[in-house]
Amino acid sequence: MSSDPKRSRARELAASHLARGDAVGWFEALYAEAGGDSAKVPWADLRPNPNFLDWIAAHRIDGNGRRALVVGCGLGDDAEFLASRGFQVTAFDIAPTAVDWCGKRFPQSTVRYEVGDLLSPAPGWRHAFDFVFEAYTLQVLPAELREQAMPKLADAVQPGGTLLLICRGRLPQDNEGQMPWPLLRSELSALERAGLSLEEFEEFWDRHDDPPVWRFRAGYSRPIVCGTLR
């Protein structure tokens, strides 16, 4: 794993909050501690996720006014990209400082930025979105919280809608290592148990990172069954 000081600091904050029984409070602590300096936020590249861009280009996705949800939006680059493609975007993060930061970065944005918790999503988000994007959020949650989060994630997808998920991946024989924890492919089956259908699954070396990272990229849909919700 990288010895990057900002990643080390993120792990320290995560460990200290987890020890107090607060598995997600460290996100706000990290953003607040950064004090407006994005260089102190490990995942803040100030550009859309390149593995997301590759998928969008390959599938020729345009919004045409459809609704999209960005999970764990960070500093907003993925959300802004989706808005530029014609989506009506809602983007949320559990850290109020991150959400406020998005507003300062993109004062004229059409994106609706909200403080929200994947483990306790807004009731109005149920089956509400044509496209849901999650990258690198599940992998920073402890395993027991990932198990709780995946049905909530699936629940946001409307019938006929799509979920795109990108995460670190590992094989069963691999050591889980440090946070961010790579996921097992078997863990993702929770999304299918929650009513989604797996449409595509990729395993690849992400060479946008140095050193390269083994990742999963998976696309899901919620079927329309006889005009009712499944």
Is residue 197 within 8 Å of residue 221, measured between CB atoms?
yes
- The burial class, CB within 10 Å (0-12 / 13-18 / 19+), for 120 is exposed
Contact call for residues 154 and 109 (beta carbons, < 8 A): no
Rounded to two decimals, the pTM is 0.95
Cα separation values, 9 from 34, 155, 183, Å: 11, 33, 22
Provide the pLDDT for residue 4.
86
Measured CA to CA, the distance from residue 93 to residue 210 in angstroms comes to: 26
Of 113, 192, 123, 126, residue with least CA distance to 157: 126
Closest residue by Cα to residue 52 from 8, 24, 85, 23: 85
What are the structural domains of the chain? Answer: 45-221 (3.40.50.150)
What is the residue-level pLDDT of the chain in tens, covering all 230 positions?
446 899 999 999 999 999 999 999 999 999 999 999 999 999 999 999 999 999 999 999 999 999 999 999 999 999 999 999 999 999 999 999 999 999 999 999 999 999 999 999 999 999 999 999 999 999 999 999 999 999 999 999 999 999 999 999 999 999 999 999 999 999 999 999 999 999 999 999 999 988 999 999 999 999 997 655 55
pLDDT at site 229:
52
pLDDT at position 62 is 93
Is residue 168 within 8 A of residue 182, CB to CB? The reply is yes
Please state, in angstroms and rounded to a whole number, the distance separating the CA atoms of residues 156 and 224: 15
